[in-house]
Structure 1
Amino acid sequence: MTANLTKQTQFDAIIIGGGACGLMCAVQAGFLGKRTLVLEKNDKVGAKILISGGGRCNYTNLYATHKQFISQNEHFSRSSLAQWTVDDTVTFFETYGIEGKEKTLGQLFPVSDKAKDVVNVFTLLCDDLAQEIWCDAEVTAVEQTADGFTVSLERHGKQQTLSTPKVVIASGGLPIPKMGATDFGMRTARKFGMLVTETTPALVPLTITGKDQPWYEKLSGNSVFCRVWNDRVSFEENILFTHWGLSGPAILQISSYWKPGESIYIDLLPGKDIVEMILAEREQNGKKMLLAYLSGLFTRKFADALSDYVPAEKNLASLTKTELEDISILIHEFKVKPAGTKGYDKAEVMTGGVDTNELSSKTLESKKIPGLFFGGECVDVTGWLGGYNFQWAWASGFVIAQNL
């Protein structure tokens, strides 16, 4: 190990984390004539960008507003999202060669379907703007000094300490630890006396255990368009049955609002009334078995599974009022009580993080520690599935850059 000497840098700020927020911050700072150094612990920047959307990168959502974000302060993200809008994101990427194509529900992907194109925009711009990037650089400590901060790091087996007037913490959250995710941002906030709200895995599959688990297991691979809800929110998208529980877009969405011990509900035929449908069919073909009718609405495998809960071998004409009510509850209010989630290993993001009360909503600077900024996932702002979290990352990176 070399001696741990403090090096006076010529950078206006050091950005810790080379993800979406950190990269946008570096580029926007460069546009303003400020020099930054990005420190990334992985061997390349943008690791999470590269795997997002199955490697295609859903880089924003056309309908993003503060209403699609979870936070103890639901209004905190308003300022950042107003300073850097969805239109700004679209224009920015178009300017540098990435045309967007809308998939479902406002999700915008590069026409090329290549996440690496998004990362390349930032690495090329950083190069053009003389913004320095050090990979394989693991930051071990941030200390406050009389005229700014020192940042201690280990790189290529050597320890060094850099001084800088300002520090940006854009080091992400806890999900996907195998990609280098840590609690560094929150740990640093606590070190400086800042509050951190409790974190939980979000946009994450839900698990089913016990006597119900075999039922889900035999449906593994079946995908159904549903409405999934609890007493706070509802989502209409596909759900996916797995051998350990439930996944798919609607489940990932509701997981951010689920708390241990709670139930969620699934409407297997959103916007329809199964009883009215059965009564209409009964007038035409009363001898049809319920199982055959359900097989026309769902896959045979799924209909077979539902028959565990309803008189599937009865014909439609012989179904009683009570049985019809039971069928209605099964189809429109299917109750699920998850055992838990698949955890940070499988979560796309997390809820919680650096308490928004500790930060200026206009600048994202710490109220207690001038010159210390927090952006991206380590802050208590969590978006829905579908490009919202990237929009927050771009916006928070832009806002911080304006105030360095």
Structure 2
Amino acid sequence: MDGLTHDSSILVIGGGTWGCSIALQLARRGYRDIKVLDASKFPSPIAAGNDLNKIAEEGNPPMDDSDENYTWNRIHQMSMHAWLNDIILKPFYHSTGFIMAACGDEAYKHVLDYAAEEKAELLPLNTADDFQNTMPKGVLTGSFPKWRGYWKKKGAGWVFARGALEAMYAESMRLGVRYVTGGHQGKVDSLIISSSAEDVKTVSGAKTADGAEHKADYTVLAAGAYSDQLLDFKKQLRPTAWTLAHLPMSTKEARLWRDLPVLYGVDRGFFIEPDEDKHEIKICDEHPGYCNFVEVDREVRSVPFARQQIPIGAEHRMRLLLAEVVPHLADRPFSFARICWDADTPDRFFLIDRHPEVSNLMVAVGGSGHGFMTNPAVGVLAVDALEGVMEPRLQKMMKWRPETAVGRDWYATQDRFGADGKIMDLSIVKDWTSIGELDESSKSSVSTTV
């Protein structure tokens, strides 16, 4: 950007998965005046990265020279290089391997297509014994009805998400990044936008709920699903939610379940080994996603909200996954549950670009389900975009592109499977689990109205 120097003031809106990564990369490149705003105290209870674990995979050399394949491979390469080598991040990556499978025919075709692009050695899994033998005796006790897939023993695993997020936060603070978080002082109500006589718009910071104005030379909007409430993205973002729960385990069980490959059923759900502190295992059901469709200014939009509960339907799907895979745990009560928001772009490529019509504003949004695994790369890409040095092929795929959202189908499943194969609407969900309740600390951080 013209005029950008290491002395320029930079405001990052959003202190979650991407915001922390961007702030850290800015500080590492020598920028000295960085402020991050977030409505929640760190780590935010609604940040997708504030989680036990996330699946991580290394990239593959592209099957062809298309921009699409090149971009994903490059992003994965950048990310995995950081997970394996960055002194801050490498303690949190666990190279345990990855099992990918499906029950339905359409979902299984997706598995086969995915496997066809793999360069690593894959072991076919077609029977209950095949699946059970991927883990120590006594872990997988289910009959795996209709399950088919493969085992990728190397080149994949999982990341201790919350630990990595906390490490990025601490290192960015050590390097001088200032965080203003929690309550009205951190909750951004609006961008500060001015227009010239020639109708040229410029962002000069943001206004928070306490009335304070946070001025900056450059502003980076990286507030995840909430970003859609601060800027007109011309339908490029669809806030979409998924569901997770924690299952408590004994010390003996947790010991048996250590260092397991990730088990992922593309139309059932997944789990990863228990955490070391509480001995809880995260269970996720797999589905195209939940939206919260409401009418805003005569248009239907999905508006995120925080809740430490999940729909009863989600719990039923999680219980089905457990019954088919680990039936000895299928009836154990959950200890925690919540909905987890992301924002889908129409093509599921990230949106990381300088705004073409608003000066001094950059957006880094649209995780589309890939946000945490690739978050080390996102920090690099976002600062590259701010400096105007992003690799041209990557910039082409992640640019501001409202033309892709013209006539957008809000109910598009975007190559996801599970549940009834449809996007579900939280605005009509009546029955929720009694595991938790609406998170009091985040009621004011993500509004259900604009």
Query: What TM-score comes out, normalization by structure 2 length?
Result: 0.45
| Structure exhibiting the larger radius of gyration computed from Cα positions | 1
The answer to which structure has the higher helix fraction is 1
- Bigger relative contact order (CA 8 A; separation at least 6): 1
